[in-house]
Amino acid sequence: MDNTGFRLLSKYGIAIPEYRVVKTPREAGEAARKIGFPVAMKILSPSALHKSDKEGVILEIGDRAGAEEACGALLRRFSGEKIEGVLVQRMGGGGAELIVGGKRDAQFGQLLMLGIGGIFVEIYKDVVFRVCPITKEDACQMISELKARKILEGARGRKPVDKEALASALVSVSKLLEKENPSEFDINPLIADEKGCVAVDVRILR
């Protein structure tokens, strides 16, 4: 993922957290101060598409010294790789983690996927698909078809997520897939809560 991915999401009206791309620990400390703590940091490198598996993500950074230290650590870990920078972004809230993906299919064109996301997406495999383009009604139906939909409805004391905002985000992603036509695309996680939803990380393959 690079900041081009975030810019593309913004173009289609998909909410993203405040962020900066930096090159040095000093820049990271200043960027984190301006964004406000806590922040997360992610290495921007083609070799780190799955950043958490390669120690390319540091979360819950609480002060400027920690931000400078975290940036230096990421740059050292990936010193032998092509590095485009370090992304500093505002930490997401505690909502439901979803994955919204897309894939170009030779027969059907762009397919849109919604599922339970985060680091356990490949374990739960709770996903639903639609052929693009989709309507708001299609999006609502996708949400209702998830096996874990009760999580979104407020299970175990959680507040229900804003399904209208989530459905709107799905329609926006459908438009992005149709117009940009990537070979693969995913937002993971998309954090959904009672206030709306925010795309925390995005991966795009042309």
Q: Do domains 18-90 and 96-205 have the same CATH topology?
A: no
CATH H-level superfamily of 96-205: ATP-grasp fold, B domain (3.30.470.20)
Kindly report the three-state secondary structure assignment for every residue of the chain. CCHHHHHHHHHCCCCCCCEEEECCHHHHHHHHHHHCCCEEEEEECCCCCCHHHHCCEEEEECCHHHHHHHHHHHHHHCCCCCCCEEEEEECCCCCEEEEEEEEEECCCEEEEEEEECHHHHHHHCCEEEEECCCCHHHHHHHHHHCCCHHHHCCHHHCCCCCHHHHHHHHHHHHHHHHHHCCCEEEEEEEEEECCEEEECCEEEEC
Q: Show me where the domains of the chain are located.
A: 18-90, 96-205
> At 42, is the pLDDT very low, low, confident or very high (cuts 50, 70, 90)?
very high
pLDDT at 123 over 90: no
45-81 tens-digit pLDDT: 877 655 455 688 999 999 999 999 999 999 999 998 8
pTM assigned to the model: 0.84
The predicted structure's pLDDT at residue 55: 83
Residue 122 is predicted with a pLDDT of 62
In percent, the amount of the chain with pLDDT more than 90 equals 71
CATH class of 18-90: alpha beta
List, for residues 166-193, the tens digit of each pLDDT value: 999 999 999 999 999 999 999 989 999 9
Q: What is the mean pLDDT of residues 126-149?
A: 94
